Amino acid sequence: MIRDQAIVAAAPPYSQSPKRGKDMAMIRNDPARVAFACILAVAGASCDAAGEAPVAVDAPQVAEAQVLDGLPLGPGFYVRTDAECGAASSATLALVRRDGIGECSFVRIERIAESRYRVEESCRNRQAPPGREHERDEFTQAYEILAEDRYRITFEYGESAEFRFCPQQSLPDPWRGNDISDVTG
């Protein structure tokens, strides 16, 4: 069984996002999806003889989860490591704010290991139908902080992405000229 505290994640694309509850139980009970998770070896995942995918966390554990006010990341634009800063797009760029990342706001942050954090987030659903734009989706994500300017996120369904800080002047328009001091200051 996959242990929630060892999943490293952030808001997945809404079209691929499994909902909590019934859908997450379906993923845990689907041998093909569990096998896929085992192949990925996300966060040290491995399969046991029963086909379950326990997740081993290699980082030193914190004696008790600590609740924090924020993640140890500097504010500003972060771009996926598989894209150049100068070629960033809305698909590869995330704005780290003091109260959230991208379309998500932090609700609760727990430090669960030396550099790993479980984060409850409330995210704007950009695919909501007209009249329901105010609705938000709730996710429990976990982040691994690789350095003060770099992080990895692994989504609930197993995909992961790594982001690095990019100075704003190195980004293409329109991000290069945006005044983001109101959300990063």
Q: What is the DSSP string of 55-71?
A: B---SPEEEEEEEESS-
Describe the crossing of helices 31-40 and 22-29 by its angle, rounded to 10 degrees: 80
Question: Can you tell me whether residue 111 is helix, strand or coil?
Answer: strand
Q: Give the separation between CA 13 and CA 158, rounded to whole angstroms.
A: 12
Lowest-pLDDT choice from 7-16, 129-138, 154-163: 7-16
pLDDT score, position 39: 29
pLDDT score, position 167: 97
pTM, whole model, 2 decimals? 0.65
- The rounded mean pLDDT for the chain is 73
- Mean pLDDT value across residues 66-72: 91
The type of residue at 147 is: A
Q: Give the separation between CA 43 and CA 27, rounded to whole angstroms.
A: 17
- Mean pLDDT value across residues 108-118: 94
Which tokens sit at 144?
């691994």
Which tokens sit at 89?
């797009």
Closest CA to 152 of 137, 163, 167: 163
